[in-house]
Structure 1
């Protein structure tokens, strides 16, 4: 299917603060660390610039940037192993992750 020439493809529009803050409220599975859960959800769903804003909101709520999963890994530990994750690593390191 061809795109109409008068229509521009919209990719990656900036998210509002309210859209980013939604990630702060995702309930964890039973037994899962709530702070780790929302960090992981946000990392998987947000672009780096939006994730950086999320981390600021997260820390403003005095939440734990070093929260761990059930294997004792922080989000930073996990992200370091992913390709093209440098912006996220830098954000987490700056935040104390």
Structure 2
């Protein structure tokens, strides 16, 4: 069976597209701030993520929100081999590891 859509690499993200992640909601009872920040991290390049974090904070969101396991997005990002740049973005914005 053929895939419906090819993976897009180096897609250009507009500010509206980045900002649209502020509408992401969890469907499993997870903290909304944690869920939207994690989805942004999983979906965006570092420069786009940095802009998203600014929008996220301007919207009054919590960078230190945790998932059901008690870990923050920073805690998760720090475990990833290629997460250093994202972790630094979060730290500079005021996130703290648990």
> Which bin holds the TM-score, normalised by the shorter protein?
0.7 to 0.9
1: CA distance between counterparts of 2:14 and 2:56? 15
Q: Which runs of 4+ in 1 moved over 3 A?
A: none
Corresponding residue SS for 2:13: coil
TM-score, normalised to structure 1's length?
Answer: 0.85
Q: Does 1:96 align with 2:94?
A: yes
TM-score, normalised to structure 2's length?
Answer: 0.84
The corresponding residue for 1:52 is: 50
- Quote how far apart the aligned CAs of 1:53 are: 0.3
Q: What per-residue deviation string (whole Å, max 9, x for no partner) do you get for residues 2-61 of structure 1?
A: xxxxxxxx9424311101011110121242100000001000000000000000000000
Q: For the aligned residues, what is the CA RMSD?
A: 1.3
Q: Which runs of 5+ in 2 are unaligned?
A: 1-7
Corresponding residue SS for 1:51: helix
Q: Which runs of 5+ in 1 are unaligned?
A: 1-9
- Quote how far apart the aligned CAs of 1:96 are: 1.0
